[in-house]
Structures are given as C-alpha cells and as structure tokens.
Amino acid sequence: VHTEAVQAALAKHKERKMAVPMPSKRRSLVVQTSMDAYTPPDTSSGSEDEGSVQGDSQGTPTSSQGSINMEHWISQAIHGSTTSTTSSSSTQSGGSGAAHRLADVMAQTHIENHSAPPDVTTYTSEHSMQVERPQGSTTSRTAPKYGNAELMETGDGVPVSSRVSAKIQQLVNTLKRPKRPPLREFFVDDFEELLEVQQPDPNQPKPEGAQMLATRGEQLGVVTNWPPSLEAALQRWGTISPKAPCLTTMDTNGKPLYILTYGKLWTRSMKVAYNILHKLGTKQEPMVRPGDRVALVFPNNDPAAFMVAFYGCLLAEVVPVPIEVPLTRKDAGSQQIGFLLGSCGVTVALTSDACHKGLPKSPTGEIPQFKGWPKLLWFVTESKHLSKPPRDWFPHIKDANNDTAYIEYKTCKDGSVLGVTVTRIALLTHCQALTQACGYTEAETIVNVLDFKKDVGLWHGILTSVMNMMHVISIPYSLMKVNPLSWIQKVCQYKAKVACVKSRDMHWALVAHRDQRDVNLSSLRMLIVADGANPWSISSCDAFLNVFQSKGLRQEVICPCASSPEALTVAIRRPTDDSNQPPGRGVLSMHGLTYGVIRVDSEEKLSVLTVQDVGLVMPGAIMCSVKPDGIPQLCRTDEIGELCVCAVATGTSYYGLSGMTKNTFEVFPMTSSGAPISEYPFIRTGLLGFVGPGGLVFVVGKMDGLMVVSGRRHNADDIVATALAVEPMKFVYRGRIAVFSVTVLHDERIVIVAEQRPDSTEEDSFQWMSRVLQAIDSIHQVGVYCLALVPANTLPKTPLGGIHLSETKQLFLEGSLHPCNVLMCPHTCVTNLPKPRQKQPEIGPASVMVGNLVSGKRIAQASGRDLGQIEDNDQARKFLFLSEVLQWRAQTTPDHLLYTLLNCRGTIANSLTCVQLHKRAEKIAVMLMERGHLQDGDHVALVYPPGIDLIAAFYGCLYAGCVPITVRPPHPQNIATTLPTVKMIVEVSRSACLMTTQLICKLLRSREAAAAVDVRTWPLILDTDDLPKKRPAQIYKPSNPDTLAYLDFSVSTTGMLAGVKMSHAATSAFCRSIKLQCELYPSREVAICLDPYCGLGFVLWCLCSVYSGHQSILIPPSELETNPALWLLAVSQYKVRDTFCSYSVMELCTKGLGSQTESLKARGLDLSRVRTCVVVAEERPRIALTQSFSKLFKDLGLHPRAVSTSFGCRVNLAICLQGTSGPDPTTVYVDMRALRHDRVRLVERGSPHSLPLMESGKILPGVRIIIANPETKGPLGDSHLGEIWVHSAHNASGYFTIYGDESLQSDHFNSRLSFGDTQTIWARTGYLGFLRRTELTDANGERHDALYVVGALDEAMELRGMRYHPIDIETSVIRAHKSVTECAVFTWTNLLVVVVELDGSEQEALDLVPLVTNVVLEEHYLIVGVVVVVDIGVIPINSRGEKQRMHLRDGFLADQLDPIYVAYNM
C-alpha cells in the first residue's frame, strides 16, 4: 500500500522539475566512499535487500510501471531539455556531469534581471503570488554561454562566470517558489524580536466521539493442572518426563547442535542454584543471598546455557538481569547498561564458557571493567565447572508471590537504560494469559527466531514453553543472516505448530524463497509477529501471505501482537480455525493522525496509514487510552492516545526509581469530570493507538518515536516507512535508516539518517534524497530539516543489528557522524523566525535630542586631554616639520640610538643613531634629485621589507621635498597574487619613482613578475643599496604645514584600496598625541612588532622615535613565523615597558607558544616589567584572543591589565590608544539581539544572547568624538549605537584618489551634524560604536568616557531588515565544532554564505553542515544558505590579521577556493 502511495505522490511532482542544486564535493571525498572501504555484506541471497520491506514480492504491473515512469521523469529533469551539454571536465568536483547539466536546466528557467538581488528570505505574501512566466516571454533573456556555466550578475552587477554562482542562482530560484502562507501570530521571546508561533489551524480536525470506555479482556480461566509457580512446573516436567525435549539449538549451518531435555534443564538449574548460593564468598559471608540481583550475560547463539542459568536463579530465589554481551569496551549503549547494573546492585555476572573466553582481557588475563560498569565477579555456569549439590540439598519451591522474579531492561529515547521489575506472580499470570490466548498445549513444537533474553522471545521461548512442556527450536540471529529461510525450513522439518518472528524475518524469507520447492507451512496454527505494532509490519504480513498461501499458509494463522517492556504482552491476535473472518484493517488519514484524530478515509488517497489490528486485550486485563500529554484523561472514541493496561501480568516498577515509577510508569486515568476510573494504577505501555470496533486493538506508533513539529505529531516509524518505499528501494543499505528529531529554535526538527549502498554514486544519492523529501512532504505534509547519508555499516548498532537511535542522534549533534551526503532544508522547515524588521520612519534629529534631554541622558560625546593646556617641556614642539626635528636631533644628540632592528635569532641586525639616519636621508635626497630628477611634491613609492632602509628612505623623501608612499613588497614565493597589488598602489598613487633594495629591484623585473604584470610600465626604479657619496646643497623645507607629508595606502577588509593624505601638521600633531599618551622620552625603549606600511603601525615604526627621541626595537612580524618567541624574548631581554603588536602576532604567540611556557620560563623570559602591551587594530577588540594571551603569559609575569587595544581607521589613523596612565579598559555585556536593531542594551555577564565588548583604549589627547546617526546625521545619546565621528588635529585631510571622484567620500572628512553643534567639522569613521560614561575617573579627575567599537558599517550585513556583524556569526560558528578553526561569512543575493576552515580529516566536512546551520539559527535567527568547507588557510587575512571577506566572496563566486564540500541549504 505504502509503496504505491509514495510512487503516486512522487509522480505528482513530475511537472515540477527538481531544482535542488547538487552539493559540490572534492574528489578525495568521493573516492573515500568507494566499494573497498566497506565491510563486505554477508554472502547470502537475502542480505542484498533485507531492509526495504516490500522487496520484490510485488511484481504487479502497476508498481513496475510507476518506477519506470519515475526513472524517465528523473532523467528528464536532470538532463534538461535539448540544450543539454553533458561535459565532465576534470576540474569538476562531485558526480559526473550533474552540476553542468543542472546548470543547463537552469538556463531554461529564466533569470530575471532584477536591479537588486531578489530577497529570498522574506516570507511576505506578495512573494507567494509570484507566477513563473512561460519560457518564451519577453522578460527572460538568454544569458550568453560562457564555457558551460551561466554568465550571471552578482549583487553588485559584476559578471561572474562560474559553476558556483549558477548553483546559487538555482537555489535562489528554488527559494523564490511560493511557500505555504505565513502564520500570523507571534510569541514574545523576552524581547522585541518575536518568533512566530504556530497558531492552531482553525480547520484542523478535532475529536468528536464520545468518551471511550475501558475495555476488558476475557476472564483468565484457571485450569486445574496449572502449576502454582514456574519452578514447580519445571520440577514437575523434570521429574515426570525427563526425556522430553525442551530446547533444540542450531549451529550456523542449520544443523541441530544440542537438545536440552526437561530432565537436564531441571538437574542443571538445581546445580546452578546450589553453586550461586553456597559456592560464592564464604560460608559465613555468602556473596549472593536470595533476593539479590545477578547479571546474565549470554551470547545470542546459546539459549540452552541462558535457560539453565535463568531457571537456576529462579530456583535460588535470586533475581536475574539478562543483558547483552559487551563486545568492546565502547559498545553503543553499553555504558548505560553498566549504569543499570550499578543501580540494581549487581556484583555477580553469570556467563557461559565460550562467552567468558571471548570477553576482552587485560594482559594479566583479568576481564577489565567496562566503561561505566560496576566491578563484577564473572561466574561460568557450565556444569563441568560446578560442584554437585549434596544429596540432602533441595531448592525451596513455593507458590508464586510478590517477590521480584526478574528484571528486563529497556532503552529509553535518550539512550538511558531502565530495569522493569517483574514479580513472580506477574510472571506466572503472564504465562497463563499467553497460554490461554495462544491455546498452547503440552508438547507442541515452537520455532523461535526472536531474542530469547527479553520481550516476546523470552516470554514464549523460555517461560511459557516450560509451563506447558513445549519444545522450542531456537534459531540464532547468525544463522538468519546466513540463511534467511532457516526458520521456514525448521517449521517444515519439525512440523512446528507455532513460530515467533519479526516482520524483518518474514521479509528476508520472501526475498530468499525463490529457489525453494518443498516448503510446506500447513502445520502452522499460529505465526506470532512480535512487532505487529509497527506501521510496516502489515505490508510484510500481506506480502508473506501472498507468496506462501500456495505453500499451505492460512491467512488466520498470522497473529500480530503488541508488547512493551512495562506492560509485557499488551494484545495478541487469537488463532482461529475460521478462515472466513478477515482480520481488522484501518485505513487512517495521515493528516488526521498528526492531530491525534482518527479519520477513516480521506479524499487524498495518498497520505493514509493502513494499520492492522493486534488482536484483543489480554485475558484478565483492562485497557484504555489516555491523552499522551497533560492530564491523563480518557480519550474520545475517535482520538489517538497512549494505551494503558491494568492487570496482574505487567511489570510493577522501574527498578530503584520510585519517582519515575509514580510519574511515568503508573497512571490513574481520569474521566472528563476528573474522577479516576479505577482505584488500581494502570501501566503506560508507551504505545499510541486506539481500541476499535469489536474490542480490536490498533497501534499507530510509539511514544518514543513521537515528534511534535509545530504542533502536529509525526511518528518516526511512519517516516521511515515512507523513506524506505522511495525508489530505488534497494538504495538504503539493508534498510538501515534512523529518524529522530532535534530541537532547534524552539521547535522539533526532523532528521533522517540512512546508510547508503556501497555502490551508489553521488547522483544516485542525491536523486534519492530529493525524492525522499518530496515523498515526505506529500504524504506527511512536514518538512525534513536534515537528510544525511552515511556509508554502509557505519551507524552504531544494537546487539541484534538494529540501529542504536539515541547513539546516532548523539553522534549527529556532536558532529561525529561523518556522513557522505547531507541535504538540509531549513528554508522550508523553519517557519517560526521573527518577523523581518520593518524600518520605522526615522525620528528627526531634533526630537532625538529633546528626548535625550527629557530622559536625562547626555549627548554621547567625549574627548582626550586638551593639547593646548598641557604644559610639558616638549622641545620638538617648536618645529613644525618632522624633517626639522630629525636635523635638530642629529645636531644635539648625534649618537643617541633611535632604532634597533632584530633578526629571527633575536640578535641585532642593524641599528641607527640620530646622525646616521640624518646622513643616510641626505644621500637618498641627493639620489632622488640627481638620478630621479624629481621636483618637490612628486610621489615616491617605497617598496622595502620591514627595516631600517624603509625609515631612511622615508626621511630622504622629506629632505628632497617628495611625498613618500610605503608599499609592502611582493612575496617572492607568491608573486602572481602579491605583485599586482604593488603595481596598483604605485599607479593609483601616481608615483613618479620607486625606491627599493637591490634584491627587490631584480624581483620586479624578473620573468615571474613579467607573467603577473606589465613590467614595461614601472616608473623609474632606484636601488638605494648603492648611494651617492655627497650631501645635498640644501634640505627642502615645506612652505606650509598643511601641505602633504606622506600618503597612507591600505586595503580595507571590504577589498577597497584607499589612500589618505597626511599633512605635515597632522603628522606632527599625531606624534605629539602619542608621545603624551604613552609618555615617550629619549630614555625610553619601545618594542614594536607591527607591519610598517600603513596606519598606526607605520607611524610607530618610522615617525614616533624621531619626534620623541625614544629607542624603538623593531621586530618584523614575518620573523615570528620561524621563531614565535622572538617578540616576547626581545621584550624581556631589553626590559621593555611598552610594546605594540598586531592581532596576527598575538595569535601566533598564543597558538605557537601555548605549550612552551615552562621552557620559556626556564630560558629566563620575564614579562613583569611590561606596563602596556597594545594591539594595534582597526576593528572591534577581540576579547577572546586578548584574554587567552593574558592568561597564557600570566605565569611569565605579564600583568593581566597590561594588554589593551587601540582603534584607528582611514580618516584618523589612531583615535584611541590605552596609554600609561588612566583607568584600565572596561568590558560591558550587550544584548546581541538589541544590537541587530541598532540599539545598545546592557545585560549581565552570562545572560543569554550576551556579547562582551571591550573598550578600545583611551581617547588620544586632542581628539574629540561624537556618536551620530549615520542616516540623519543627528547626535545620539549616551549608550546609543551610532557611527563614530572624530574631530582632531591629526585627522587625515582627505582621500587621495586618482579619479577625483571625491563627491562620494567628501563627507567622510568634512561632515557636520544636522542639529546641535552644526559648526564643528567632523570626519566619519565608518564604524558603529557607542560611548558610555563610566564610574571611573581620568587622570585629570573627570568621569571617564569609554568608547566601544562594534564593527564597520560596510562590513555589516543587512538581513531580514536587521544589521548583523559578521564577527558575531563567525564566533558562534567557530564554537559549534572542535574542528572549525576559522570562519568567515558574507552574503550573496541575500543568501548567507558561511565558509569554515576544517582542521581535521575531510570526513568531518559534512558533519559541520548541520551544526553550522543549527547554531546560526539558534543564536542569530538566520537561515544559512550555503555552507562551504575549505582547508586551513583559505580564508584570506590581511597584515592586520583581519579577514578579507570580499576577496573570499569573489574567490567563491569565481570558483577558486577548491572547497572540500559545498552544501546548498534548501
């Protein structure tokens, strides 16, 4: 039934072409899942397709036709139409030509030329009205073919030709499809951000029937010769008919291995009982007393030994706890079993000889303690190891009472293991009820395939059989694997009357039966189907009957039963002799079931669940069903509830857990008026169902498999059945599939994990996954959040080979499942996102200011100390120009050391005194004038490695009246990518000449350089390694302090190259401000480990020492790659008090020296003299990094308060810098959700959604700051988020652009407030931040104002109307899995793309996809569109250690990242 429904459902999708972009995968990842990597499947005809329940039995024309149509449709969808250019180029990652073919399919779906990229993330109704226009309409334009992907435009109108963007476009098109209408109601998530809440659908079906009545089973008829207890029965048969066979075991060839007679069972059980009680411990202190619990550890192929041990325990009155054999120390779920043994107080484990030999041993021969297990004494129960009981010893056999007989374990949904206590009276009554229901008689033969240690296998094959002196033929699982027909052959061979099987065994037999001639099943009067309560058992039963009816099987013989560990047998279909009475069937509407309502028929014939009855209530029991959650009210007659049973023959409690027993095991059902229906407790069975007409019990699912998705209930088993019915059915390896839900963003989300066949290709997998999604959507009307495929045989197994569900879920959540394919559909499933923020019309700046005044808030402004009022003996102040300061120093203190350059060994590579620098600068000036023939005002590019040459060249330019531009030299190992940037800066800055070293000179003209750029267009190149020997006639003195001193070029993180103009006046003011903040004097030493090419790094490296006269110890950061300890050792050796570094340097030290602190201490590294260690940055302070650095080096004397950061940007290279005096930097916690709405909401540390922000250092002297609204340009109040505006003497004087396109950026340097102080000229930093007045006081006694930088405006992403800073999302993602070392995010056509660097095996790549998607949903309420997993080092980082997200984006769109895996979330 199900298969046909699934095929029909999928056929409905025929018109809708599949527009799911296939993930890209690196070759190495595909190869890994080849055939050789698998354990070969068992060599049996049945093992090929043991899982798909329907198998090949349905050779009906309809189903085969359906599958042909399906194949045809799929091939149509993939190959597109006539234009299909199937090409498999070698570069392609992933399956064969799928990506290209998909791209061609996309060529048919037109790409509309939107001026702005389509917003696929809003769920407004106008989107759902979009209708795809027909192909030939005027709007579609055929994009020119470029290679064989599509030429498309990115959001900024840049044409990008690539496979990646074709896929993204495809994703965008898929996501633009009309969605189900959005829901209107919301709940408040303790804040303005509202998550949508599912409102009950007004049309949803509601139960209408009357309240049900409890159903009684027939009277339990007491037969006179029934034994008073099970031990009494054993004694009776063991003495009356000792030769009668009790149990026959089979070897793996299906030959009888051993026959246990009732006589042997009786004598051996007695022997075991005697030895347990008398031979363990001492006579005075026996180890085991009656009532104690002992574990039974027997393998599945040895029922005889188990049976002897079990009855031995009953005779000794100790309580057996049967458990699985622990195969390895880390078996799935074995830790939980250990917990059960511990809580039962088990100290002795009974086992067989063979099993004991097979257990893992330590070198001394001891059996090690398994993880989580108590210490056990292992006791072998084989007769030959036991001493004979004395003649006069006899077990005490009494009537069944309320003592515990045995404990059966059950595994809960979360993987924990509980023990269900069964008393002796319950045990006996259960055997009697089964005997009556099944009509068992003496000496019948019964074939048992089930696990004899628990559940139906134990109840029929070990207990009830002995009560009735039956003969059990036990078929081990290992034999079934080799020969799935073995049980049928034994039924024929022994003319067995009864067989106990699961639907799986019927299914395997179907698949394997073809070659069998002489099968005759007419002897069977009862075929017990133990998992008759499963939704797919019905199709196995039908198919089995279909095939074996001709072999003597009668329809009425098939008896499904329902059972649960708590309530034992819940219901069983009685065997009848009347073949005219067809079994009960229910065809229920799946839609109704999700609301817990029974609707027999539905207009949609596809989404129905066909269920079979599991017979009547057990003799002597009462059954009812109660609402599954809330108050246990009786259900109505047309309502699904949890079945509950009241009888003697049930478990009595969860062993040792009285609270759980009271709350979840027992229940007192109530009527609608609130009165309990019985004074006795009912036992919850954990089964969902209803009692139908005629008292027939129907089960539709298990409480454990219940998943409540946005208010509707779905059953894991039903979803498994749908997935297994998707063609090709053999795709899932042995039918091994797991379905569970995970909670993400306040709702359950469905996850499906399946093992794929070893030989399936990427395309097979992807096809199958797409169809499963469609089938589940059609039949269950629910979206699948994540569908993952893993290689065959890799999911954790239960002892009998099923899937260990909770363990699988655990692996999924911790990212160690290692799937080989993943498809996530958060866009379709997640419907409770907050409403996109609607921007309110801006309140005018005047009202904002008045509002602030009324509420008593001050306007956010702050300033450093006033330069004019500071009295200091600053000699350099009397000079306007730095070149004059240098000449003055060369005259007054010629031999004073200004610069010391260290090499990677920490020794001095070079140094400069005042006079040496002055003289070299003079020679360079001569060279510029004579060889370069430069005029004053010409621009000169300085291309030097970090060092002394750079400084001399800079002052040489000033002496000659030229304008220097420092440029990072090209990297000799990477000319192709680094040289074009050099060329670009040289051209954009209009440099008339380029000065450099001899080495770089050769590099610029090399063959590699010629391949990267046009080397003929370099300006004049001067090599300063050979300088003229003469002095210039005179040194140039600028006429006006406002003329240009130098140009500062830097590439911003958004990939913009921007040069700013620094005048002489600004340069001197800058140096003075830093001198005052850091208290720099000629006697001081400062260590600098920064790149000297732009911003504050350049100023500290080249300018400050000349102005303040202090000695700078220069450490090129590149040297740290060979010697990470270089910087800190220098700081320690030179007893430096102030040092400056970059985030990259700090990260290098934290990562590279983390394990070496002890050895550094031994080398005498001492950081106790450091009072300031400043990170030079142009971003929000990275608290995590600075804190881990401080913690790491605390042992080496580093004061935790010494580490701080500075803040600068293009318009002002240093706004803040934590100086020597003044309060320590403060940290505040803000609500990340408020921040998205551009508001600052201070919260306590550790509160949910809190984000720590550290003050960016103290505002420099002479700097004024104000926070302004970037849109209205009005001033904002204290603690409000806005753009940081700065006014200072050292602001840059403007952008230097070659195009003169100043209008765009003109207001960056001279903006005025629209209200309030409208006279002051401010520069806009382009960074969002806020000011907050703290309780601390500054050096001058004022309250201290702290500046907090949140992030750059042009880096921020607008998504769903809210402003997100990439770093926040990246931080969440990095925390999601231990193997994510770095992460960068960007948007493309409103899709969020997350790129993660993987530090681990490529097998972990796909684990990251669900984790990344989950964490971004949970913490940021955003749906990730694309997850890209790349190797370490792929995310480009600039010299300041900032991520170049736009470069990354361009690389991704141009398909240059060589990703390990790219997942497109649907």
pLDDT, averaged per 10 consecutive residues of the chain (1466 residues), comes to 72 61 77 42 35 37 36 38 34 38 39 38 36 36 33 39 63 60 36 58 83 90 83 95 95 90 96 93 86 93 95 96 78 78 93 89 81 90 90 89 94 89 95 94 94 94 96 92 90 94 88 75 94 84 90 91 94 81 80 86 69 92 92 92 95 89 88 90 94 91 90 90 83 90 92 92 89 90 93 85 88 93 90 78 68 70 77 70 92 94 92 94 92 88 94 94 94 86 90 93 88 88 86 84 91 79 93 90 93 93 93 93 91 93 92 87 91 92 93 90 91 87 85 88 89 92 92 86 93 72 64 85 93 79 86 90 93 94 91 94 92 94 94 86 88 91 90
Helix-helix angle 762-780:61-79, to 10 degrees: 120
Q: Which residues of 437-448 are buried (b: 16+ CB within 10 A; e: fewer)?
A: bbebeeebbbbb
Residue 517 has a CB neighbour count (10 Å cut-off) of 5
- C-alpha pair distances (Å), 1345 with each of 1267, 1337, 1425: 12, 9, 41
DSSP 1427-1444: EEEE-TT-S-B-TTS-B-
H helical segments located in 1119-1225: 1126-1133, 1143-1153, 1157-1162, 1183-1192
Query: Does the CA dihedral 1063-1066-1071-1074 come out positive or negative?
Result: negative
How much is the pTM? 0.81
Amino acid identity of residue 1129, one-letter, is: L
Amino acid identity of residue 139, one-letter, is: T
Residues in the chain: 1466
Angstrom distance (rounded) from CA 111 to CA 136: 13
Give the long-range contacts of residues 190-194, CB within 8 A, separation 24 or more.
191/1231, 191/1233, 191/1234, 192/1233, 192/1237, 193/834, 193/1233, 193/1236, 193/1237, 193/1421, 194/834, 194/835
Encoding tokens for residue 893? 């203190």
Specify which residues 823 forms β-bridges with: 787
Sequence-distant (6+) residues with CB within 8 A of 64 are none
Whether omega for the bond prior to residue 178 falls within 30 degrees of 0, making it cis, is: no
Nearest to 1331 by CA among 1291, 1362, 1285: 1285
Q: Which value, in Å, is the radius of gyration of the alpha carbons in the chain?
A: 40
Encoding tokens for residue 849? 């200011």
H helical segments located in 1300-1442: 1302-1309, 1366-1376, 1405-1420
Hey, is 171 helix, strand or coil?
A: helix
* E strands present in 662-728: 666-667, 682-691, 697-702, 706-709, 712-715
Encoding tokens for residue 312? 């031995």
What counts of helices (H) and strands (E) characterise the chain?
43, 64
The DSSP letter of residue 565 is: T
Sequence-distant (6+) residues with CB within 8 A of 251 are 257, 479
Angstrom distance (rounded) from CA 1138 to CA 67: 76
Q: Which residue has the tokens 């080979």?
A: 801
Encoding tokens for residue 635? 């259900």
Angstrom distance (rounded) from CA 152 to CA 139: 15
Hey, is 1164 helix, strand or coil?
A: coil
User: What pLDDT sits at residue 86?
Assistant: 34
The DSSP letter of residue 1101 is: I
At residue 607's C-alpha, the angle toward residues 832 and 50, to 5°, is 105
CB 795 within 8 A of CB 806: no
**CA 74, 75, 81, 85: dihedral to nearest 10 degrees?**
130
Residue 147 backbone phi and psi in degrees, to 5 = 65, -130
Amino acid identity of residue 989, one-letter, is: S
Angstrom distance (rounded) from CA 493 to CA 649: 34
CB 425 within 8 A of CB 648: yes
Nearest to 729 by CA among 750, 757, 751, 705: 757
Encoding tokens for residue 1255? 């003050």
Biggest CA pair distance of the chain: 133
